[in-house]
Structure 1
Amino acid sequence: MPRTAEVLKVGRGAQSPPFLVMDVIAAANARAAALPPGAPGILRMEVGQPGHGAPQGAVEAATRAMRSGHALGYTEAFGLPSLRARIARHYLDHYGLVVPMSRIAVTVGASGAFPLAFLAAFDRGDRIAMATPFYPPYANILESLGMEAVLLECGPETRFQPTLALLEAMDPRPDGLVIASPCNPAGTMLPPEELAAIARWCHANGVRLVSDEIYHGLSWDTVPEASAAAFSDSAIVVNSFSKYWCMTGWRIGWMVLPEDLVRPAECVAQNMFISPPHIAQVAAEAAMDCTEELEAIKAGYARSRALLLEGLPRAGLDRIAAADGAFYLWCDVGHLTNDSLEFCTRMLEGAGIAATPGVDFDRARGGRFLRFSYCGVEAGMAEVPVRLSRWLERDGPRS
Structure 2
Amino acid sequence: MTRISQRGTVAPFYAMDVLAEANRLAAEGKPVLSLAVGQPGARAPEAVRKAAADAAMTARLGYTDALGRLETRQAIVGHYRDRYGIDVPASRIAVTTGSSAGFSLAFLALSEPGGRVAIASPGYPAYRNIIKALSLEAVELPMKDGAFDLNALLAAHAEKPVDILLLASPANPTGAVIGRDALGAIVDACRQAGIAFISDEIYHRLRYTGDDVTALAFGDDAVIVNSFSKYYCMTGWRVGWMVLPEALVRPVERLAQSLYICAPDLSQIAAAHAFACTDAYEAIKQGYEANRALLLERLPKMGITFAAQPDGAFYAWCDVSRHTNDSMDFARRMLAEIHVAATPGADFDLFEGERHMRFSYAGSTEVIAQALDRIEAWL
**1:63 corresponding residue in structure 2:** 53
Whether the 8 Å CA contact 1:315–1:385 is kept in 2: the answer is: no
Q: Distance in 2 between matches of 1:351 and 1:65?
A: 43
Structure-1 residue corresponding to 2:71: 82
Aligned to 2:143: 154
Query: Aligned equivalents of 1:296 and 1:218: distance in 2?
Result: 12
Q: Is the 8 A contact 1:319 1:333 kept in 2?
A: no
1:193-232 map, 5 Å = 193-221=181-209, 223-232=210-219
Are residues 1:373 and 2:373 paired? no
Structure 1 contact 236–257 (Cα < 8 Å) conserved: yes
Conserved? CA contact 2:303–2:322, under 8 Å: no
Offset, 1:53? 1.1
Q: Shift of the alpha carbon at 1:352?
A: 1.8
Count of aligned residue pairs for this structure pair: 377
Gaps of 5+ in 2: none
Amino acid at match of 1:308: L
Instruction: Name which one, 1 or 2, has greater alpha-carbon Rg.
Output: 1
Shift of 1:318: 2.5
Is the partner of 1:179 in helix, strand or coil? strand
Once the two structures are superposed, residues 175-196 of structure 1 have per-residue CA deviations (whole angstroms, 9 ceiling, x without a partner) of 1101000000000010011001
| Cα distance between partner residues in 1 of 2:161 and 2:5 | 30
Task: Report the Cα offset of residue 320 of structure 1.
Answer: 4.0
Is 1:165 matched up with 2:151?
yes
2:349 to 362, 365, 368: 362
Summarize deviations over 1:304-336 as a string: whole Å, max 9, x none: 111111011122213342001000000011111
User: Any idea what the Cα deviations from partners look like across 1:146-204, whole Å, max 9, x if unmatched?
Assistant: 1100011114x1x2x32322222222231110100000000001001100100111112
For normalisation by structure 1, the TM-score amounts to 0.92
Offset from partner CA, 1:57-84 (integer Å, 9 cap, x none)? 100101111121x310111001110110
Question: Which amino acid is the alignment partner of residue 329 of structure 1?
Answer: A
In 2, the alpha carbon distance for the partners of 1:321 and 1:12 equals 34
Distance 2:67 2:131 in 1: 22
**1:21-57 CA-partner distances (Å, limit 9, x unpaired):** 1110011112222336xxxx21111000000111111
* 1:14 to 2:28 alignment: no
Equivalent residue number for residue 311 of structure 2 = 324
Partner of 2:332: 345
Give the unaligned 5+ runs of structure 1: 1-5, 393-399
- 2:130 corresponds, among 131, 141, 149, to 141
- Alpha-carbon distance in 2 for matches of 1:318, 1:138: 26
Corresponding residue of 1:178: 166
Indicate conservation of the 8 Å contact 1:214/1:243, yes or no.
Answer: yes
Do the aligned partners of 1:143 and 1:149 also contact (CA within 8 Å) in 2? yes
Q: Distance in 1 between matches of 2:336 and 2:153?
A: 42
Distance (Å, rounded) in 1 between the aligned partners of 2:313 and 2:136: 28
| Alignment deviations for residues 78-97 of structure 1 (CA, whole Å, 9 cap, x no partner) | 11101101101111111111
Q: Is the 8 A contact 2:142 2:149 kept in 1?
A: no
Q: Supply the distance in 2 between the matched residues of 1:34 and 1:379 (Cα, whole angstroms).
A: 22
Partner of residue 396, structure 1: none
Residues 359-378 of structure 1, C-alpha deviation per residue, up to 9 Å, x if partnerless?
00011211000000000122
Preserved contact between residue 33 and residue 341 of structure 2 (Cα < 8 Å): yes
The answer to whether the 8 Å contact 1:191/1:224 transfers is: no
Q: Secondary structure at the residue paired with 2:291?
A: helix
Percent sequence identity over aligned pairs = 48
Of 263, 277, 288, which residue of structure 2 is paired with 1:290?
277
SS at match of 2:202: coil
In the alignment, which residue of structure 1 is the partner of 2:20?
A: 26
Question: Does the residue aligned with 1:128 lie in a helix, a strand or coil?
Answer: strand
